[in-house]
Chains A and B, each alone.
Chain A
């Protein structure tokens, strides 16, 4: 975590946030068809970062739907989207939250963050929480400390169904590039304009509003303290 290279703060005026000439551009594809909702990634993430009780950097929601006997159960793993246009970065008054020039990961310098919580409002995906020990905001950073050593993020490493594919999309031979080239993908809440770098295959967007519209029974479980999806 304390690797100085990952802790560089980005003070100064806001830079051009989209830079496709970055040496690396990390992205993740989540193939929900391969996810069985075992929560191994949730647990791996919790222990990797000693995430405090009641908070989470990454979790798996389940969507239960249909009327017997025509029923289905889908899973939706959630994590920070490392957005290309991160609204959390553009509101941060101290420069503590920044998008890294080297790989596009959105990181937080916990020594600079004052815990004003502005970014927690700005993230349309509810990915941020206030760490009770540091008083700074924390969230998923694609396991920068691992990735910088050439190791896969904890959630990717532990996923038994290979539902999470992580890599550099600047490298056309990477698995993630190939997945993006050959599959129909979507991102969450595209209308928010944040241009996520986490892509989903067959993400189920059913929720209460869908249930009202179609008359199909739907139950969304976040499987975390926040019972309502954020």
Chain B
């Protein structure tokens, strides 16, 4: 067993950063797709919740990250500034700049939604739309780079896969959707427009279902290709195929975070999808699905970050 250099702060950051970026991307794309919120009140509401959520987890995650810095640990509070005195092709350098931009843009974007009477076409409309256009690429960038960051090193065979970034991106979007649903579930209150609420909930749940199905596929490809390789990569993937992280990966992430949520969602989404029936997922189920997806997203980051570090190159 090799030593763990990146612990809980990094895991929390990868998870929260992904969730915030995902919520931001979902919010901005729903907003832009619905003609800046004109199309339906429900869409505007989704966009609003996503926008309000997005910056918070990212900022908390970045805050956690600071605690993993060696310079911070010896009491040098501000040496991390060095990150922003240069830019190079290191994924961490590009990622830091992306993160900084994302935090600024997402704060401005959230600001345009702040007032309780914010609605489509109010005085912030122009700014909101501009920020939404920036949110999509920046959010995708932040979610993707976390995977690229880990994937960039042949010395870490578990991480060294081009599909890891894709997995992180999809997981980010799906936890983002879940966080919006969860917030609406808890604080949503009652809306006069019952049809609009149903439509927007259906939109989110079916999107989440689609995302999770892609995630299942990507997980399959990730595991399969690693297992089909010989050498270091195969050796590394063994850690979730019988090794020390097997149950955490399969139960904690695949079953809890993917299989159960997708089965529940299928049960409620399919009737409307196939037979145009009413979409009515009970409140408790909605809460449960969101929690499971979010827990699964955390488990994914946990298992991946640890697995990458307890495995390494084989031979000498």
Interface residues of A (CB under 8 A from B): 11-14, 76, 87, 90-96, 112-118, 120-124, 126, 130-137, 188-189, 191-193, 203, 205, 207, 209, 226, 228-230
In the complex with contacts A114-B82, A207-B315, A136-B70 CB distance below 8 A? yes
Chain B residues with CB under 8 Å of A134's CB are: 74
Contact B88 A93 (CB under 8 A): yes
Contact A93 B154 (CB under 8 A): no
In whole angstroms, what is the CA distance A116 to B76 when docked? 13
Q: How far is the CB of A177 from chain B (nearest CB, A)?
A: 25
In the complex with contacts A122-B153, A193-B154, A115-B72 CB distance below 8 A? yes
In whole angstroms, what is the CA distance A117 to B1 when docked? 18
Contact A192 B155 (CB under 8 A): yes
Q: How far is the CB of B137 from chain A (nearest CB, A)?
A: 21
Q: Is there a chain A Cβ closer than 8 Å to B274's Cβ?
A: no
Q: Is there a chain A Cβ closer than 8 Å to B48's Cβ?
A: no
Q: How far is the CB of A206 from chain B (nearest CB, A)?
A: 9
Contact B70 A114 (CB under 8 A): yes
Contact B70 A130 (CB under 8 A): yes
- Not counting A93-B90, A122-B155, A135-B76, a sample of 16 additional A-B residue pairs whose C-beta atoms are within 8 angstroms of each other reads A13-B89, A14-B89, A91-B90, A92-B88, A92-B90, A96-B82, A112-B82, A114-B79, A115-B70, A121-B6, A121-B308, A122-B153, A124-B312, A134-B74, A189-B313, A192-B154
Chain A residues with CB under 8 Å of B87's CB are: 13
Q: How far is the CB of B165 from chain A (nearest CB, A)?
A: 15
Contact A205 B70 (CB under 8 A): no
Q: Is there a chain A Cβ closer than 8 Å to B194's Cβ?
A: no
Total number of residue pairs linking A and B with CB closer than 8 Å: 132
Q: Is there a chain A Cβ closer than 8 Å to B152's Cβ?
A: yes
Contact B155 A121 (CB under 8 A): yes
B window 54-108: CB within 8 A of A:
68-76, 79-80, 82-83, 85-93, 96
Q: Is there a chain A Cβ closer than 8 Å to B284's Cβ?
A: no
Q: Is there a chain A Cβ closer than 8 Å to B283's Cβ?
A: no
Q: How far is the CB of B66 from chain A (nearest CB, A)?
A: 10
The answer, among B79, B93, B96, B313, for a CB contact under 8 Å with A135, is B79
Contact B6 A91 (CB under 8 A): no
In whole angstroms, what is the CA distance A133 to B316 when docked? 31
Chain A residues with CB under 8 Å of B5's CB are: 117, 120-121, 130
Q: How far is the CB of B307 from chain A (nearest CB, A)?
A: 13
The answer, among A13, A92, A192, A203, for a CB contact under 8 Å with B313, is A192
Contact B89 A114 (CB under 8 A): no
Chain A residues with CB under 8 Å of B89's CB are: 13-14, 90
Contact B83 A93 (CB under 8 A): yes
Q: How far is the CB of B238 from chain A (nearest CB, A)?
A: 13
The answer, among B73, B88, B313, for a CB contact under 8 Å with A124, is B313
In whole angstroms, what is the CA distance A94 to B92 when docked? 9
Contact A114 B71 (CB under 8 A): yes
Q: How far is the CB of B309 from chain A (nearest CB, A)?
A: 7
Contact A121 B90 (CB under 8 A): no
Q: Is there a chain A Cβ closer than 8 Å to B301's Cβ?
A: no
